[in-house]
Chains A and B, each alone.
Chain A
Amino acid sequence: MRRLTVPFGKNMLGSLKAGEEVLLNGTIYTARDQAHKRMAEAVKAGRGLPIDLKGACIYYCGPTHTPYGRVIGSCGPTTSSRMDAFTPLLLLSGLRAVIGKGARSQEVRDALRKHKGVYFLTYAGCGALLSGCVKKRSVAVYGDLGPEAVFRMEVEDFPLIVAIDTMGNSVYK
């Protein structure tokens, strides 16, 4: 199985094919509904983003509180389609990949093709298992959002399935 390292360089994702399984290493950012809304508002208002999304990967995830002695609590993916309205704008801002679960809109598919981005799936409803792949965790921005804050997560061999590749091909029939 191929290993990928994030942040992604310009041509790193082009060879991935929908359906392929890969292991991700490096630093990713979590963001879900409210963080997306704020980031989109910031871009639209011309304020710029509080984190550098160039070549970055966003994970649609809101972890539980961290149990004592652990790096992170349960941290599986949330439903991606709720972020559909914001994804094209973030891809325009340099974002290269997103991780979540479930289907995406045609607009997201088109935007991924246009910006040579990739939509990954990870094991849905397996947050306890996935927490083992997270080696470091800290709040990046929007700490006031609690579980919806943007967390910086250092992951090791985080298991992914390519759901939509840079050509816009989808794993879903």
Chain B
Amino acid sequence: MRKINVSQISGAVAGLVKQASFFLRADVLSALRRAFLEERNSRAKKILKAVLDNAACARKEKLAICQDTGFPIVFIDLGQDVFLKGSLEKAVNKGIEEGYKRNSLRNSIVAHPLDRKGSGFSPCLIHTHIVKGDKVKITFLPKGFGCENKSRLQMFKPTASLAEIKDFIVGAVKDAGPDACPPYVVGVGIGGTADYSAVLAKKALLRRVSSKKSKLENDLLNAINKTGIGPMGLGGRCTALAVHVEIYPTHIAGLPVSVNISCHALRSASIVL
């Protein structure tokens, strides 16, 4: 049994908030650079240049990559041989508060979705997964809501064809159109339950953009890029940088499919304690 004081977790989370908000993920940056080089449409090229300049500016000036510093989401892989001293939930939220405040990020969270009074930095959402070992892996994903608003869930019939499912996923991107800051990274969750497919779709955004892709993922990416939506929706070759599909077993009576779109400012950071 390894003992970890939760104050260590607070500090780690605060550090991840800064890292993710100021420094665009290296894999996302390389994908954007490649999109810029491959783009032939002059306006799209100019927009991609602005996106790359923005990432450089954020890094240099210690500014948030995007003013929407997101709904803070924290994924924790908690080793079962770890003994946590103190409240994990409180510690993570303390880290979020500190990270956002210290780095002048935006207080985008309203305490009640209906009365919408006041706004703060927390609470964050915590997804905990118990794993083997005595380590704690923490991943921070600030999710902007321009793209979160374009999320889709459909409970397909178990007899649905792959073509129908592909149409639904590509349709979700077409519906997002120019609104959610393309080029996108498209997260897809297939299987599980309604809620779990949505979590899978979100988790899919954590995979490296340069990771090896399945045939389904490549087919979806090609179909999405054929829409010609392009950067800012003004046309171009690159509507999405990648499509990531996460699969989980499901029930004989159903086939849940969730789509979670990320804008080009796909931010996340991880640490292992």
B232 contacts A by Cβ under 8 Å: yes
**Mask: chain A, 61-72; 1 = CB below 8 Å from B; 0 = not:** 111111110100
B250 contacts A by Cβ under 8 Å: no
Chain B contact patch, size range: 35 or more
Cβ-defined contact, B104 with A67, below 8 A: yes
Instruction: Tell whether A74 pairs with B67 under 8 Å between CB atoms, given A64-B106, A67-B104, A126-B54.
Output: yes
Complex interface: chain B residues within 8 A of A14 (CB): none
B146 contacts A by Cβ under 8 Å: yes
Main secondary structure of the interface of A (DSSP, over half): loop
Complex interface: chain A residues within 8 A of B80 (CB): none
Cβ-defined contact, B119 with A132, below 8 A: no
A63 → B minimal CB distance (Å): 5
Contact of B233 among A34, A68, A102 (CB under 8 A): A102
Q: Which residue of A lies closest to B61 (CB)?
A: A128
Cβ-defined contact, A132 with B232, below 8 A: no
A165 contacts B by Cβ under 8 Å: no
Cβ-defined contact, A61 with B67, below 8 A: yes
Chain A contact patch, size range: 35 or more
Cβ-defined contact, A101 with B67, below 8 A: no
B184 → A minimal CB distance (Å): 11
Instruction: Tell whether A73 pairs with B104 under 8 Å between CB atoms, given A103-B178, A129-B57.
Output: yes
Which residues, 40 to 74 on B, are CB-close (under 8 Å) to A?
47, 50-51, 53-55, 57-58, 61-69
Which residues, 134 to 151 on A, are CB-close (under 8 Å) to B?
145-148
Complex interface: chain B residues within 8 A of A10 (CB): none
Cβ-defined contact, B66 with A172, below 8 A: no
**Mask: chain A, 105-126; 1 = CB below 8 Å from B; 0 = not:** 0000000000000000101111
Cβ-defined contact, B146 with A146, below 8 A: no
Contact of A66 among B104, B118, B177, B181 (CB under 8 A): B104
A88 contacts B by Cβ under 8 Å: no
A93 contacts B by Cβ under 8 Å: no
A70 → B minimal CB distance (Å): 8
Complex interface: chain B residues within 8 A of A27 (CB): none
Instruction: Tell which of A61, A65, A68 has the most Cβ of chain B within 10 Å.
Output: A65
A131 contacts B by Cβ under 8 Å: yes
Cβ-defined contact, B47 with A128, below 8 A: no
How many A-B contacts at CB < 8 Å in the complex? 126
Instruction: Tell whether A129 pairs with B69 under 8 Å between CB atoms, given A74-B64, A102-B179.
Output: no
Cβ-defined contact, A102 with B177, below 8 A: yes
Instruction: Tell which of A63, A74, A103, A123 has the most Cβ of chain B within 10 Å.
Output: A74
A173 contacts B by Cβ under 8 Å: yes
Cα–Cα distance between A62 and B177 once the two chains are bound (Å): 22
Cβ-defined contact, A102 with B178, below 8 A: yes
Cβ-defined contact, B66 with A101, below 8 A: no
Q: Which residue of B lies closest to A132 (CB)?
A: B57
Instruction: Tell whether A128 pairs with B64 under 8 Å between CB atoms, given A62-B106, A79-B146, A102-B178.
Output: yes
Cβ-defined contact, B108 with A147, below 8 A: yes
Cα–Cα distance between A128 and B68 once the two chains are bound (Å): 11
Cβ-defined contact, A171 with B66, below 8 A: no
Q: Which residue of B lies closest to A145 (CB)?
A: B119
Cβ-defined contact, B67 with A172, below 8 A: no
Cβ-defined contact, A64 with B119, below 8 A: no
A75 contacts B by Cβ under 8 Å: yes
Cβ-defined contact, A64 with B50, below 8 A: no
Cβ-defined contact, B66 with A76, below 8 A: yes
A81 contacts B by Cβ under 8 Å: yes
Cα–Cα distance between A147 and B107 once the two chains are bound (Å): 7
Cβ-defined contact, A124 with B63, below 8 A: no
A146 → B minimal CB distance (Å): 5
Cβ-defined contact, B119 with A128, below 8 A: no
Cβ-defined contact, A146 with B116, below 8 A: no
Give residues in A with beta carbon < 8 Å to B.
34, 61-68, 70, 73-76, 78-81, 101-103, 121, 123-129, 131-132, 145-148, 161, 171-173
A-B contact pairs, 8 of them (CB 8 A): A62-B108, A64-B69, A78-B68, A102-B180, A123-B50, A128-B64, A132-B57, A172-B177
